[in-house]
Every structure is written in C-alpha cells, then in structure tokens.
Amino acid sequence: MKIVPLGNSSLRSSCLAYGCWRVAGSWNPAEVTPATEAAGRTAILTAYEAGYTLFDNADIYCRGRAEEILGRVLREVSGMRERVLLATKCGIRSAGDPHPQSPQRWDFSGDYIVSACEASLRRLGVETIDLLMLHRPDYLADPHEIAGAFVQLHDAGKVRAFGVSNFRPSLVRALQAACPLPLLVNQVEISLAQRAALEDGTLDQCLELAITPMAWSPLAGGVGRRRSAAVAQPAGVSDASGFGSAG
Ligand SMILES: NC(=O)c1ccc[n+]([C@@H]2O[C@H](COP(=O)([O-])OP(=O)(O)OC[C@H]3O[C@@H](n4cnc5c(N)ncnc54)[C@H](OP(=O)(O)O)[C@@H]3O)[C@@H](O)[C@H]2O)c1
C-alpha cells in the first residue's frame, strides 16, 4: 500500500483510509447485534491486514458504537494501535442531546469540541486521537473559539493534529487564519457521482495550503448497484441498508 503524508506533517498513513461508518451495521445502536458487531470487527481487522493504517470514524456513527467497535479491535490486536492513525470527527449533536427536546444541530463551541473529543477517547480506549476533524460546518461558529479548543486538546496530548470535513474553501481559510495549528485534512465527498470538489476550489485550496483531501463515499456508497438492484427486485422490496446520507 502506498504511504502518504498528512499535510506537511510527520504523520504518515496508507493512501487508502478505512471508513468505519458502517462497522456497526446500522445507524441505530438498538439494532446492533453480536453478529453485526462481529462482522464490523472482522472488516476492520481485514483492512488492517491488507495494509490500511488510517481508520476514519466519527462520534455520531451509530451514536458512538462504531468507535467502540474499533476500540475493541485495537485492544484485541497486539501492536495495532502503534501502527495506525486514528481519525475521528465531532461537532454534530444528535436530537435529544443533552435534553429530550434538543434538536439535531451542529455545535462547534469550544466546550463541546473538548467534551466530544474526550468522549471519543473513552470509546476508542486510547489516550490520543491522531486526527480530529470538524464534521460539517457550524455556520454560527467562531473560528477563534474553535482554535482555542484545538490548542487546548493538542497541548493536553489528547489530539495530535486537526482537520475539517465538508468545509468550503472560504471557511477553511477563515479557520486557518485563526488557528496556530495547521489543518491537515479536508474530508469531502468525492466520487464519480459527486465531482463538485474538483470544480469549486476545494482541491485547488488543498494544493495551495498543503491540505490532504480525504474522499468520503469514494464509490458513491454503491449507488449504481442499488439502482440496478432496485430495478431487478420484485415490487415492494427496497434497499434495507438502513444508512442515511449524513455520515
Ligand atoms: N465526512 C462525512 O461527512 C462523511 C460522509 C459519509 C461517509 N464518510 C466516511 O467515508 C467512509 C466511506 O463511505 P462509504 O461507506 O459511503 O464509501 P463507499 O466506498 O463509497 O461505499 C461503500 C458502500 O458501497 C457499496 N459499494 C460500493 N461500490 C460497490 C460496487 N462496485 N459493487 C458493490 N457494492 C459497492 C458497498 O457495498 P458492500 O457493503 O456490499 O461492500 C458499501 O455498502 C465512511 O465509512 C466514513 O468514514 C464521511
């Protein structure tokens, strides 16, 4: 597997990242069974054995269960933690968090970024996250407040490096101007079915600022296959993957 640097940093990873979005088998923690969890652990282990050394996760993937499943594999496989980079994302709060009436929303307040990161550390069972990304833009965010949270987490040894996800170029520039730590990654949707990042300046900015673009859903989530299957299926049978598009 080809090895690439993340940004201009000393962090090195396989050029393919293993995305842990689907490792719990569902978005809903109540639907996770020993069998779906075992399948997820097998998938992670298979990726590791195939040479993947970058594992991408997020606190919202199955409400933390995806991080717990990855954490379990890390404990079970001797030496794996030292050989891989752990990436995760924060900033999306589920409906009902923290109060039953709270809506789903984006929250880049400094206190929330710190507490979300600490919760991810607990679920992964590690002391340091290698790459923490902001999941989707919170348009009410203050870049200086985000930068303060990043510096706090970095200085406490809880996060080695930072990145963003789904950020347009002007937002990357605003955050980087406020942040003394380099943004190493912008994780964006790139596939044959989603080519906007090639034309809207996102990839040009990655070249300009030495930000590593990380493609999410690079195979478009199998959308072509699903369409073909839907045509081939008898009426009334639909895709039962249970995954939405907010990954
Ligand atoms: N930052 C974000 O906002 C965001 C959003 C979404 C995802 N992500 C990240 O990106 C990672 C990858 O996303 P993804 O899982 O959607 O990636 P993907 O590789 O585009 O899609 C994987 C899915 O597509 C199916 N598939 C793809 N190509 C296929 C083919 N040629 N034939 C049959 N099936 C095919 C796979 O089926 P099988 O399961 O049968 O193999 C699987 O269900 C996630 O795990 C997550 O880490 C980030």
Distance in Å, CA 20 to ligand 1 centroid: 9
Q: What is the pLDDT of residues 180-197, one digit of tens each?
A: 999 999 999 999 999 999
Per-residue pLDDT at 200 exceeds 60 = yes
Q: E strands of 31-126, at which residues?
A: 54-56, 85-90, 92-93, 105-106
Q: What's the pTM?
A: 0.91
Q: Which ligand 1 atom is the nearest neighbour of the CA of 57?
A: 47
Distance CA 124, CA 106 (A): 22
Residue whose entry in the numeric block shows the structure tokens 């990655």: 206
61 is annotated as an active-site residue: yes
| Annotated catalytic residue within 48, 61, 112, 139 | 61
Contact 230, 238 (CB under 8 A): yes
Burial label for 198, CB within 10 Å (0-12, 13-18, 19+), is: exposed
pLDDT tens readout for residues 8-59: 999 999 999 999 999 999 999 999 999 999 999 999 999 999 999 999 999 9
Give the ligand 1 atom nearest the CA of 188: 1
Q: 37 with 69: CB under 8 angstroms? A: yes
Q: Whose CA is nearest to atom 27 of ligand 1?
A: 222
pLDDT of residue 242: 31
Give the lowest-confidence range in 113-117, 174-178, 213-217, 218-222.
218-222
Residue 247: predicted pLDDT: 57
For a pLDDT cut of 70, what percent of the chain falls above it?
90
Parallel/antiparallel/unpaired status of strands 85-90 and 129-134: parallel
Secondary structure (3-state) at 141: coil
Q: How far is CA 181 from CA 41, 76, 111, 161, in A?
A: 33, 33, 18, 8
In this prediction, residue 239 has a pLDDT band, given cuts at 50, 70 and 90, of very low
Measured from CB, residues less than 6 Å from any atom of ligand 1 are 19-22, 56, 135, 165-166, 187, 216-222, 225, 247
Nearest to residue 165, comparing CAs of 3, 57, 52, 28? 57
Q: How far apart are CA 17 and CA 52, in angstroms?
A: 6
Give Rg (Cα) of the chain.
Answer: 18
**How sure is the predictor about 223, in pLDDT bands with cuts at 50, 70 and 90?**
confident
Name the pLDDT band for 225 (thresholds 50, 70, 90).
low
Task: Looking at the CA of residue 215, tell me the nearest atom of ligand 1.
Answer: 10
Pocket of ligand 1, candidates 13, 18, 20, 21: which has the most ligand atoms within 8 Å of its Cβ, to mutate?
Answer: 21
Domains of the chain: 3-93+100-232 (3.20.20.100)
Q: Quick one: pLDDT at residue 190?
A: 97
- Mean of pLDDT over the chain: 92
Q: 35 burial class (0-12, 13-18, 19+ CB within 10 angstroms)?
A: exposed
Ligand 1 pocket, mutate which of 57, 133, 195, 216 (most atoms under 8 A from CB): 216
pLDDT per residue over 93-137, tens digit each?
999 999 999 999 999 999 999 999 999 999 999 999 999 999 999
Task: State the number of CA atoms in the 13 A half-sphere of 218 facing the CB.
Answer: 9
Q: Is 152 helix (H, G, I), strand (E, B) or coil?
A: helix
